[in-house]
Amino acid sequence: MHEAERDNNMLSELIDDLGRLASVSIQDRYIVNGTRDTYLTADDLLEDLGSTLLFFRAEGFPQRIGELEKQMGRAAFNQLLELERVIKKESHIS
């Protein structure tokens, strides 16, 4: 897999993670009404997003974060950075 393809896949994963975090139906189905076999916690959602964000911060690939900003637009990117700060603060992800 080429680097550009991998970056696009990770961007798709980031969008999916954000979608799950924001989805009321996902929260109702897997957090509020989760079963023993199918449940999530809010921490699970934050960890998934935090891990994906780490990919964009990976040492040796500083251009990824710039590419992410370019694709998202400045306002959305700034919101993502704020969310990243909250995740790090709450979950101690570095």
In order along its 94 residues, the chain shows pLDDT tens digits of 677 777 677 778 888 888 888 889 988 999 999 999 998 988 888 888 888 777 777 755 667 777 778 888 888 888 888 888 887 777 655 4
| The residue type at 12 | S
Helix 42-57 to helix 3-22 angle, to the nearest 10 degrees? 150
d(CA 18, CA 44): 12
- For the full predicted model, state whether its pTM sits above 0.95: no
- Both tokens assigned to 84: 């990243």
- Both tokens assigned to 75: 């306002």
**Burial class of 65 by CB neighbour count within 10 A (0 to 12, 13 to 18, 19+):** middle
d(CA 91, CA 23): 20
Q: Which of 4, 26, 14 is nearest to 50 (CA)?
A: 14
What is the domain count for the chain?
1
Its domain, for residue 34, covers 3-91
